[in-house]
Structure 1
């Protein structure tokens, strides 16, 4: 049906909520994909000596994220160019949209499985919570595959609304639950692993912040998708946060991996203070070494306090950083 046979007001009311959300989601996805490219370049430029499984993990995320962007562009192209004004085309789900869903849930499976492995290692290889997280992740993936498989076969809006959408929401709910347990477990084990060494505990606090932010970003995107789906059930604005869900998974994970260099610099750098000396104590009762240099001959230069860390401190902090970001099996 061409646009000339449909009143403009009806065509506008049909196209704007359907194609408008997809177009906006495509623009934002391309912007976030640029961040993915930059984060991937930074990773391989700085951490190319990581274990092979980490490098494969990162390249898989990049390839899947690239395929997701391509699927979004093809979906919008299908509805905007060859089917412009064809309202009947809006009642079904294009094949590329099913591919996009498949890429998104595959990224979710990889990222959540990776973090579940971290929980398993940090917990002393206990299986209860990692198994629960993996079960939720697998449920999200299975429901998403089911949705992507049957969605393009249904051309009746009522069937999509009452059957397929419920499956998609159940998949999102499982992913949200998995993100919650991952964040809670990692924060718990990080907090439990405090050593009593001031600088190391400060690094752990930063790692806790990274962990919470990583979980919140993906949790927020999934929550917005569900809310928009329920509030605007007859429209398709929920695709905007859903298109960004995989980008949140990829970029938050890569940003966390790329933060290692900055954290190492924080732990091994030399600090200067002009205020009161604050001594850090190691667990065995020994203190860090404080070297005070006074230069009274030059009144413009204040006294500096240089902290010289022991080899044990540096090894402890480096081990904390590497064990969190790159698990060793």
Structure 2
């Protein structure tokens, strides 16, 4: 592949792998924090966290497996930069499975916040499924074609579609959560500060994952002859994993803030916005898998 800028291409892969490894370490730390802070969470949430950590660990191994192929096995053979290692191809579908798991988590959160409305949830789930299918197709085509030049020539649209769908789901989730939280605000409400914090957090996490996906897609479209897009793609799944784990691990802080606000409130208020971190097991309350904002007469 004579048109490839070798230093920038190898550099992009290496830098992407290093950042991905750092974020993978953050995923491991967040997983340990979760186990310490929420031992009474439902088994389904614990399994989700274990799944996210496992997928992230395997994904990191696949990244460094592909770098071993480029930097060690094929050292000195510049033409091999065009070859797609099977480990790199598999990393695409691992990213998609992890992303799909996170999208489903937030779709369920929207479902609960919207009082079990399918109107907001179904489009998110459908687009997430399509994104997973396109990523699986990308992995299969990469393994069949075995070179980036062939992949660009034959099915360039497939990888673009997957990135576009992923970004679209992020935007839908962010807008839906923003709408649901914003609609829970009341004029002069004592809990508006807590809701504002959730809105800001929702915007930050949604914009980070969406921006990373969009930038990777732009690099793929504009500069497909180098692997800058792939270096960025290494990082995407790590951002999704951390966004989910941070969401789970910040529940106690938000709950404590809510309690401090409610404790200072007047019992004569007609309405109060109650932010409930949904608790686990044995106390006649639901799971901690989502925050539920509701208006309650007091």
Q: Does 1:62 align with 2:53?
A: yes
Aligned equivalents of 2:34, 2:188: Cα separation in 1: 29
- Please tell me whether the aligned partners of residues 72 and 97 of structure 1 are also in contact (alpha carbons under 8 angstroms): yes
Which residue number corresponds to residue 276 of structure 2? 319
- Please tell me whether the aligned partners of residues 138 and 158 of structure 2 are also in contact (alpha carbons under 8 angstroms): yes
Cα 1:156–1:267, aligned 2, differ >3 Å: closer, same or farther? closer
Which deviations, in whole Å up to 9, do the C-alpha atoms of 1:186-226 show, x marking residues without a partner?
Answer: 11111222356733221111111111111111101101101
Which residue number corresponds to residue 297 of structure 1? none
Which residue number corresponds to residue 201 of structure 1? 192
**Aligned residue-pair number:** 284
Larger Rg computed on CA atoms = 1
- Please tell me whether the aligned partners of residues 196 and 283 of structure 1 are also in contact (alpha carbons under 8 angstroms): no
Which residue number corresponds to residue 132 of structure 1? 123
Which residue number corresponds to residue 101 of structure 2? 110
**TM-score normalised to the size of structure 1?**
0.79
**TM-score normalised to the size of structure 2?**
0.86
Unaligned ranges ≥5, structure 2: 280-285, 292-298
Aligned equivalents of 1:283, 1:77: Cα separation in 2: 64
Aligned equivalents of 1:213, 1:106: Cα separation in 2: 22
- Please tell me whether the aligned partners of residues 190 and 261 of structure 2 are also in contact (alpha carbons under 8 angstroms): no
- TM-fit CA distance, 1:281: 7.6
Q: Does 1:84 align with 2:75?
A: yes
Which residue number corresponds to residue 155 of structure 2? 164
Q: Does 1:245 align with 2:202?
A: no
Q: Does 1:51 align with 2:8?
A: no
- Please tell me whether the aligned partners of residues 41 and 287 of structure 2 are also in contact (alpha carbons under 8 angstroms): no
Which residue number corresponds to residue 96 of structure 1? 87
Which residue number corresponds to residue 110 of structure 2? 119
- RMSD over aligned Cα atoms: 2.7
- Please tell me whether the aligned partners of residues 255 and 276 of structure 2 are also in contact (alpha carbons under 8 angstroms): no
- Please tell me whether the aligned partners of residues 84 and 148 of structure 2 are also in contact (alpha carbons under 8 angstroms): no
Taking CA–CA contacts closer than 8 Å with sequence separation of 6 or more, which of the two structures ends up with the larger relative contact order?
2
Q: Does 1:260 align with 2:251?
A: yes
Q: Does 1:233 align with 2:224?
A: yes
Please give the residue correspondences for 1:15-54 in structure 2 after superposition, counting only pairs within 5 Å.
Answer: 15-54=6-45
Unaligned ranges ≥5, structure 1: 1-9, 272-277, 286-312
Aligned equivalents of 1:155, 1:54: Cα separation in 2: 38
Q: Which moved more, 1:141-150 or 1:118-127?
A: 118-127
Which residue number corresponds to residue 284 of structure 1? 270
Aligned equivalents of 1:70, 1:207: Cα separation in 2: 34
Which deviations, in whole Å up to 9, do the C-alpha atoms of 1:140-171 show, x marking residues without a partner?
Answer: 10000000011022145443113333211100
